[in-house]
Amino acid sequence: MKNFNDVKACYTIRDAWHDLNLAGEPKKSCRCPWREDRNPSFSIHNEGRRFKDFSTDESGDVADFVASATGWSVKDSLAWCRERACINFESGFSPIPKRQEPRRELVIPPSDPGENSDWLAVAKLRGIHPYAVEVASKLGILVFGKVCGYPSWILNEPGKIAEARRMDGEVFPPMGTLGKRKAHTLAGSRKDWPLGTKMIENPAADIFLVEGGPDWLAAIHFLVVRKRKGLIPVAMMGRANRISPEALAFFEGRRVRIYPHDDPDEGGLEAARRWAGQLREVGSKVDAFTFDGLIREDGKPVNDLNDAVLIHHEDKLKLEGLLP
């Protein structure tokens, strides 16, 4: 790969957004990551290959995006993108992003493992077996505490990533530059770090990789109800993020099954393809399970692993091959 088209084909604005540690989440309607933007006026589109700032009328491709985010020239931004895309570049150019600040320490608010009433409440919210919630709590990955003033359940990997959701099932209200959100990522989190790596001890165990906290709990649910051992559920807490190179070492040489979200914009499938590519580079044996065509008891389509818990009885046989 020698030209810019090759770079754009394998390195998107979503990738650059993550690698520059920019705030927020890159999507079709979001806030500009390098200026004050109280109302979303920024867009990542064309499968993550173009951006548009509707407030300033600025737009462009991934090199233009990096140039705007860092203050570099487009030429230097392209060189940086080429390196990040693992394209040979003789100059060895590797600048430090000017807008990148030292990562804050991840601090979990006062919390505890919860008790039976807490486990039952989360089980009811997500439609999963209460014992699955208890297992998550006993693993130390699920804790309970107040976040943004609201009683919340928190999934965390100590020192790496923590994400909270409200116990009443409502969204967190706008706060500062943050808009309404179902899940609140705690400051200092690394969204490129997979939740659950602390469980990876058995070198022979297979891994199933899901997207988001609810799907991670659903993974525990299926292990519990099917009485399966030797499988480790791991979750990426956001489809826009690549797996940290440091974390990839946990997956080296293992069998990994990915459960992509069946999103209308195909963002979940794009993320799964990106993760699969990274995993294969470290020798993982990767496959995927699709929810295409499956229906829930309420008649809605099954879009992810948590939805699969609520699958219509006529489709349950189609989940026989769900686990590796």
Q: In the prediction, which pLDDT does 110 show?
A: 95
3-state class (DSSP) for residue 314: helix
92 located within any domain: no
| 86 pLDDT above the threshold of 80 | no
The whole-number pLDDT of residue 143 equals 97
> In this model, does residue 2 exceed pLDDT 60?
no
- What pLDDT does residue 80 have? 81
Per-residue pLDDT at 90: 45
The percent of residues in the chain predicted with pLDDT above 90, rounded, is 57
| 276 and 206 both lie in a single domain | yes
Which band of pLDDT confidence, cut at 50, 70 and 90, is reported for residue 105? confident
Residue 240 pLDDT = 67
Q: Which domain holds residue 76?
A: 4-84
Interatomic CA distance for residues 262 and 148, integer angstroms: 30
Residue 26 domain-assigned (yes or no): yes
pLDDT band at 134 (very low <50, low <70, confident <90, very high): very high
In a domain, 98, yes or no: no
Residue 103 lies in a domain: no
pLDDT of 97 reads 43
287-300, pLDDT tens digit by residue?
999 999 999 999 99
Of the listed ranges 113-127, 139-153, 260-274, the least confidently predicted one is 260-274
Q: What is the dihedral of CA 260, 21, 45, 76, to 10 degrees?
A: -130
Residue 79 binned pLDDT confidence (cut-offs 50, 70, 90): confident
pLDDT value at 10 more than 60: yes
Sheet containing 42-45: order of strands: 42-45, 50-53, 58-60
Residue 177 confidence (pLDDT): 63
Residue 46's Cα: distance from chain center in Å? Answer: 20
**Residue 251 — pLDDT band, cuts 50, 70, 90?**
very high
190 with 306, same domain?
A: yes
- The number of folded domains in the chain is 2
pLDDT, one tens digit per residue, over 214-240 is 999 999 999 999 999 889 999 999 876
Last residue of a domain, one of 48, 68, 84: 84
Same domain, 40 and 124: no
Q: Can you give the CATH number for the domain in which 233 is found?
A: 3.40.1360.10
255 beta partners: 285
* Residue 129 and residue 72 in one domain: no
Residues 138, 42 share a domain: no
> What's the pLDDT tens digit per position in 152-177?
999 999 999 999 999 999 999 987 66
Band (pLDDT 50/70/90 cuts) for residue 256 is very high
Q: Find the length of the chain.
A: 324
| Burial of 63 from C-beta contacts in 10 A (0-12 / 13-18 / 19+) | buried
To the nearest whole number, what is the mean pLDDT of the chain? 87
